[in-house]
Amino acid sequence: MRTQVGIIGAGPAGLLLSHLLHLEGIESVILESRSRDYCEQRIRAGLLEQGSVDLLNATGLGERMRRESLVHDGIEICFRGQHRRIDIHELTGRQVSIYGQQEIVKDIIARRLADGGKILFEAQAREVGGFEGDKPFIRFEHNGSEQTLDCDYIAGCDGFHGISREAIPANLFKGYDRQYPFAWLGMLAAAPPTSPELIYCHHPEGFALFTMRSPTVSRLYLQVAVDEDAKNWSDDRIWSALQRRLGDHDGLKISMGKLSQIAVTPMRSFVTEPMRVGRMFLAGDSAHIVPPTGAKGMNLAIADVSVLARAFIAYYKKNRTDLFDSYSDTCMKRVWRAQHFSWWMTSMMHPTSSSDFDNERQIAELDAVTSSRAGSTFLAENYSGLPLAPWRD
């Protein structure tokens, strides 16, 4: 097999890149180790920045999103028995939208297949090579046989545990890593939203977050120990903790329903730099991950591929390579801004049992941020997302 751009991974980054390239007549093949059903059903992130929404709409992917997404003008922050609202739209003119990552994946897969795009599901990449020279290739296993995809360039969009980053010699990149001393217990609830907007809660027992996936499904999170086992949390224990942490603020009443997909997610920050080595480019979680407190993961992936698509278009349409050369530096400016914001939100919202000083400092910071227009604007600008550069001329 041969193509112009070989893409590893059928998550939002790989799928969107393939779609953007197709719109400019550039060929690609996507190799995905999981089944189509797995990709379309896996519950992941759900909050889209304004720029991400605008890009999906501008490229013909937003029809169902416009019908079904939940558009929010602000968020609620709770602490010390009160809740305060950050009016994102009033402060920035922007909004955020709730639309699950799996729904975006469904939309782009359907569009790519309708357009004749080539996505090979259950195609496990085994070897990535040739990218330091001029003959990149991906060896993969599909339908019980080993095959090779030759390409001009490789886009590694296969996530933190994928093969792409691992294929880069250790002396050619630097990894920045931070692990946090707590985790999130996440679950879905078959219950209507408790609130029309997200609720971030600082509580002496631990952080809690209320969000939603649809008018009938809520997504809930609780701060737990980093080594916590989800099996230790019965439905009664979960609802009791949520009632104490969220229900303690101005009489907030929590909508309850059947719980499912209960799992523990560690908190971690990671950055790979540079995001390009030779003819291979990393995008999305293969290059960086953030704690989910700031809702930046999927949005960073979308931002990466908008920059990368522009570079491929400049090369194939105008024989320019300067955007390849600047790809990593361009992405890194946004990545480190998002890392800072995610770290800041995480550090501010999660109490630590080991430090009364830090906990009181967090309360003072929350009070300052939510009572100051300047502080609220900083949060609102970063939460709703930095503007995206045009993905093509």
Is 253 a known active-site residue?
Answer: no
Whether 292 is a known active-site residue: answer yes
- Positions of CATH 3.30.9.10 in the chain: 181-266
Helices (H), the chain: 12-23, 36-41, 50-58, 63-68, 88-92, 101-114, 163-166, 235-245, 297-318, 322-349, 356-371, 373-384
Catalytic residue among 200, 315, 316, 327: 200
Annotated catalytic residue: which of 19, 72, 203, 350?
Answer: 72
Q: Does the pLDDT of residue 26 top 80, yes or no?
A: yes
Rounded to 5°, angle at Cα 289 from 287 and 290: 145
- Of the residues 296, 316, 350, 351, which is catalytic? 296
The reported pLDDT for the residue numbered 248 is 60
pLDDT at 60 over 90: yes
Q: Provide CATH 3.50.50.60 ranges for the chain.
A: 2-73+91-178+268-384
The active-site residue out of 249, 292, 316, 350 is 292
pLDDT digits (tens, 9 = 90+) for 261-314: 999 999 999 999 999 999 999 999 999 999 999 999 999 999 999 999 999 999
| CATH architecture assigned to 181-266 | 2-Layer Sandwich (3.30)
Give residue 251's pLDDT band: very low, low, confident or very high (50, 70, 90): low
Q: What is the pLDDT of residue 42?
A: 85
Tens-digit pLDDT profile for residues 321-352: 999 999 999 999 999 999 999 999 999 999 98
CATH number of 2-73+91-178+268-384: 3.50.50.60
Catalytic (active site) residue 174: no
Name residues whose C-beta falls within 8 Å of residue 90's C-beta, 6 or more positions apart in sequence: 73, 74
Active site residue 72: yes
373-384 vs 356-371: helix axis angle to the nearest 10? 90
pLDDT confidence tier of residue 354, bands split at 50, 70 and 90: confident
- The dihedral of CA 146, 148, 149, 153: what is its sign? positive
Q: Answer yes or no: 19 catalytic.
A: no
